[in-house]
Amino acid sequence: MRKRLIVSAAAGALALLLTVPASAAQIGPGAAGIGDPYYPNAGNGGYDVSHYDIRLKYQPATDELEGTATILATATQDLSRFNLDFVLGVKEVLVNGRTAKFASTGESELEITPARPLVKGAPVTVVVRYADKPGKVERGGYSAWLRTPDGGVAANEPEGSAWWFPSNDHPTDKATYDVSVLVPDGTQAISNGLLTGQSSRAGWTRYNWRQTKPQATYLATLAIGRFDIRTDTTPGGLPVVTAYSKDLGDNDGAARASVERTGELVDWLSGYFGEYPFGSIGGYVPNVPTGYALETQTQIFYSPAQFSRGSNTSVVVHELAHQWYGDSVSVQRWSDIWLNEGFARYSQWLWSEHENEGTAQELADYVYSSYPADNAFWSVKPGDPGADHQFSGAVYDRGAVAIQALRNTVGDEKFFQILKGWPAERKYGNATIQQFQAYAERISGKPLAQLFDTWLFTASKPAVSSAGVPAAAPAGAASLAPGGKGAPQEPKSWKKIQETNSLHEHTH
């Protein structure tokens, strides 16, 4: 896709040379996508965003959302035109203070033509005014805005931001955020980071939220409804913000018994992953009918269904692990999703180990023996699952087996050094699986190409388990065949971990 765009842009430039001065010939439109093979239209080319200032007014009774987004960016090429990713109705666009032409095109592109072309390297301020009912705006029969009886929620992966603010919607363009939301008195608004102000006037209350650390667009979240918001600090002084819909019914106790352990669990994970990268942590449970949870940065989204069978600290561990593996260090391309989900799942295995409910090795053996070689589970390559299988079980479970295989290959000392060193190495950035492999090879001093190829990039069941036990054990030896003599017992934590599998359930 990227290659095709480069070719067509070159051809366009050549045609222009015939009619306009050479200096103007370089100016062209920015690409409609940032170049991600899984999602060709995700993100945009030609600029880099540093900050989003999102000012909203929302009426829960009617689902009417009005907004003004002020976007600070830098042009990375000369631009006659550029795109934002957005699906709501736009009323006005200004670029550097001047009225700009705009058009909604394709699935989710907002094409903006500034009054004057943008010069490479120059700062750009874009103001977009909009108003719509996000629950009514569908793409492919689907709206990413989760309507609730008392408001609405935006929390989705890999896309969701287009239903509440215009952006460069790809993890490689991170930015800081100010989100200010005006809602009727008695209703609360929640977003990422810290609540820096709250004021009421004439029946409406404004909530100001601030995220000062780089954040990918899909990790930005917004929830409006009637919430009980709690603030606290961990023993180490990290602010903790949690919120619960006042409408959780029978799930209320289990939700609080899980999410209120956030501070304890983030401290526990710091022991494995190193210093927590952000300025606050928390989570919220709105009254949505969905089943998944999502690692929205510092303010984790949990569906109440995650707590419908009682408390679940395992899902909290999973989403907290993402703050290092996914949020601070983000995918370079969506095909690198194993760097998020493999490690978040493995953190649940470490928690199981800590709780004496099965070791990571036992869980790896159980995954390995649970799926026969002809099961479709093994046809998904966790290292390049394809957009349709980005959130398949194999990315999580086989992905975590891959990590156990790495642990067995390099030994515990080097393994835990890698686990802790990687988030520091790539803090607030992006990375590919190949870069992780190179890092693991550097730290361990071992060649790992074959290991990565076997566990992440082969569409079949590896012939040896993570512990190096051959699948077809010689007669008389313990067999790892499912149900066979010596097949691993189901670890105690297994069911609870599987319950978290509707995390990131891709709804369209």
Cα-Cα-Cα-Cα dihedral sign, residues 321, 323, 324, 329: positive
Least distance (Å) between residue 369 CB and Zn ion: 24
Q: What crossing angle do the helices spanning 313-324 and 262-273 adopt, rounded to 10°?
A: 50
Closer to Zn ion by CB, 102 or 436: give it.
436
Contact present, 327 and 215 (Cβ < 8 Å) = yes
Closer to Zn ion by CB, 111 or 341: give it.
341
225 φψ region: left (φ > 0), alpha (ψ -120 to 50), beta (else): left
Least distance (Å) between residue 404 CB and Zn ion: 18
Closer to Zn ion by CB, 32 or 344: give it.
344
Least distance (Å) between residue 296 CB and Zn ion: 11
Contact present, 217 and 170 (Cβ < 8 Å) = yes
Closer to Zn ion by CB, 350 or 503: give it.
503
Closer to Zn ion by CB, 344 or 367: give it.
344
70, 75, 76, 78 alpha-carbon torsion, rounded to 10°: 150
Least distance (Å) between residue 269 CB and Zn ion: 14
Closer to Zn ion by CB, 190 or 293: give it.
293
Closer to Zn ion by CB, 194 or 503: give it.
503
Contact present, 295 and 315 (Cβ < 8 Å) = no
Amino acid making up residue 40: P
Give the ranges where 371-432 is alpha helix by DSSP (H): 393-410, 412-425
Q: Using CB under 5 A as the criterion, which residues of the chain lie in contact with Zn ion when the complex forms?
A: 341, 344, 503
Least distance (Å) between residue 196 CB and Zn ion: 28
Closer to Zn ion by CB, 185 or 505: give it.
505
Strands across the sheet with 98-99, in order?
A: 98-99, 90-95, 123-132, 64-75, 47-59, 175-184, 204-215, 194-201
Report the candidate in 73, 33, 34 with the shortest Cα–Cα distance to residue 53. Answer: 73
Closer to Zn ion by CB, 263 or 393: give it.
393
Unique residue bearing structure tokens 């903006």 = 112
Least distance (Å) between residue 413 CB and Zn ion: 27
Beta strands at 194-201 and 188-190: parallel, antiparallel or unpaired? unpaired
Least distance (Å) between residue 503 CB and Zn ion: 5
Residue nearest to Zn ion (CB): 344
- Coil, strand, or helix at residue 129? strand
Least distance (Å) between residue 350 CB and Zn ion: 15
- Coil, strand, or helix at residue 52? strand
Helix H, strand E, coil C: the string for 326-387 is CCCEEECCHHHCHHHHHHHHHHHHHHHHHCCCCCHHHHHHHHHHHCCCCCHHHHCCCCCCCH
Least distance (Å) between residue 423 CB and Zn ion: 15
